[in-house]
């Protein structure tokens, strides 16, 4: 039986207007499209790095 992987629920809470282009790209790479949109991602070092980069625009909840 495979071990369960941890998940993160990521919600965009602020607009990307006025943000740097790399931060807008990071939001899109996470799968977020608009304010109050939520996605579930696996808890990996890559995702954690992206979350850290745009931490001022999102809220993160561990599932």
* pLDDT at residue 1, as a whole number: 55
Cβ atoms of 42 and 62 closer than 8 Å = no
Q: Which residue has the higher pLDDT, 1 or 49?
A: 49
pTM, to two decimals: 0.89
Whether pLDDT at 11 is above 60: yes
The token pair that represents 42 in the structure block: 């696996």
DSSP 18-41: TS-HHHHHHHHHTT--STT-EEEE
* Mean pLDDT computed over every residue of the chain: 94
* pLDDT at residue 50, as a whole number: 97
Whether pLDDT at 14 is above 90: yes
- Which domains, and CATH codes, for the chain? 7-62 (3.30.1390.20)
Across 1-63, where does the E strand assignment appear? 7-12, 38-42, 58-62
Whether pLDDT at 2 is above 70: no
């Amino acid at each position: 039986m495979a071990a369960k992987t941890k998940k993160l629920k990521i919600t965009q809470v602020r607009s990307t207007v006025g943000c740097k282009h790399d931060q807008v790209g990071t939001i899109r790479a996470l799968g977020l499209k608009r304010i109050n949109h939520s996605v579930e991602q696996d808890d990996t070092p890559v995702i954690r790095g992206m979350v850290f980069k745009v931490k001022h625009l999102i809220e993160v909840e561990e599932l």
